[in-house]
Structure formats: structure tokens, C-alpha cells
Structure 1
Amino acid sequence: MSEKTGTFVVTHAESESAVVRDVETAQVHTLATNPGLDVHDVLEGTVAPDPPLEVTWQVVEVEDRRSIDLVDSDMEPTTREKSLADEADVGDLVTEERAGTGEIHVLRLPDDEVEAAAQDVLDDEETIARAARLEAVRVEVRRSIDDGVVSVRYLPD
């Protein structure tokens, strides 16, 4: 095994160890020690096998480290997000780049599925991994049951 450099999201953290997942390959690495990482932290750097057995990994270089805030917003989707949903069929996902960095994902759903879909997005580890790939530091989930819309906003700092 050799060193791996990339962007990793922390999926599990205890005082003694942590588990990170490469956001590009989805490969999981158990760290032998926890260098102060918390769940949902993003680590850009290098990990290497931890000697002598090389069954766990260690962080050998940190280029950047940030936390991603996952927000279950009580705000409704914006007018723009609702208009994107109006153009989509039920069950479709519409993705739009934000000016600068980040993305907005809009789901058009039956009214009775909006709340469950919003919760699924909040609970899905891939939401944080996508935020890491997009260099976002905040993920905001908004919903409108009356309009059948869930919006996921991947926002920069």
C-alpha cells in the first residue's frame, strides 16, 4: 500500500480513531489515531498506511481542513428554485451551478414525499461528500410541501 492524496470526509470520529472516505473513489480508511477530526469535517491531504502492520492509516500531511455545516432550513425554496421545479417532471432532479462556486439541486416530488426526501438528503453521507467535491462549507436543505419542492444548496464560505 502507498500514500493517498485527496479530499476525505470524516464519516466516524472517536477520541482515539476516525474513519475517512475519499470523496472521489469512495475508498474508506480507518485512522489509527484521531488528529482532532469531527464527523462531517473535510480533510484535504495525504494519508498513508500506519506501520508496522499497515491495517490502519495515518494522516501525514494536511493541506486544508474545514467543517461542513448541514442545515435543515425552515425557509422555503427561492422563487428561482421553484421555477426550476416547475419545469421538471415529478421525480426529476435539476442541477444548476451557482455563480462562483457551489450548486443548487432541486427535486420535484409528490407533496406527500417532500418531508421524507428532505430528511433522506440530510441523513445521506453522500450529501457531505458532494459538498466536499464542490468546495462548499454549508449545505442548506429547504422544502415546500405545497409546491412539492426540495432544494439542496451547496454554498461556499
Structure 2
Amino acid sequence: MIKWVTKTFEELTTQELYALLRLRSEIFVVEQKCAFQDMDNADQLAVHIMGYDDELDNELVAYTRIFGPGIKFDMCSIGRVVTAASVRGNGSGRKLMEYSIAVVEDRFGKVPIKIGAQLYLQKFYSSLGFEQSSEMYLEDDIPHIEMIREVAK
């Protein structure tokens, strides 16, 4: 069972900040073999969604960061979507995105949400209501596309 915690940057403890930076580094830098500047001075403007697995000694296993409109894109956005290898394949990624979408709607209303998605995850994000809105582009040598989830009618 995953316990969700939502905090602004100022509300994060040093332990939480360390855990989320470690998880992001573990997946984006080590697992994906991608050397990039993860700490981009945007964390301070984000709302951080953290998922802790109570069966894994409350280890941080899922994370996203959310931005209001005008910070990363002209609309609200969800980024740095990451799940630990230990919880992949059990629906944790879907639960993480559903929770993140709910937090966007709670904080900003029912508004469009934009993401920069790794191309291989297009079908996953489409199943959550996101539609491709750009051509493929390379980000750190990984194929990406922008996707938008319009407001449900």
C-alpha cells in the first residue's frame, strides 16, 4: 500500500528532499544512463508528490513534481515522474499519475495539464487522457513528446 504525501518545497524535510533527489538520480541518471542537471532550480517552485510503500519500510517509491501555469509551460504541468524498480508492474505508476492529476485539480481547478513524456510511455499517458501535442524531440538523447490532458467535458 502506498501512502501519498504532498508538500511544497518549503515544507519538505531534509530527509524527504534527500530521498526524492536520490530516487530521481537512481532512475534518471543511473538506470537510464543519462548525465543531466536534475537540480534545475525549479524544485523550489513545485509541489512535490511522494509515495511511500508501507510494505518496504516506508521507502520512497514514487514521485512527481507539479507546477502551476507559467512555470514550466503555459499551463499546469506534471514532471519528474518516477517509480522505483521495486514497484514497477503493479499499477504504482498509474496510481501516481492519478493522484498527481487529482492534486493539480485540487490546487488549480479542472485545467489542462501538459507533460514532456518519454516517447515509449505514450500509450500509458494516453490511457490517462493525455494526447500528443508535439513532434518527437530528443531530451538528453531520449526521445520525448509533449502531451496535453484537456479538461474533461
Q: Which structure features the higher share of helix residues?
A: 2
Kindly name which structure, 1 or 2, has the bigger radius of gyration based on alpha carbons: 1
Bin the TM-score by the shorter chain: under 0.3
Q: TM-score, normalised by structure 1?
A: 0.25
Question: RCO (CA 8 Å, sep 6+): is it higher in 1 or 2?
Answer: 1
TM-score in terms of structure 2 length: 0.26
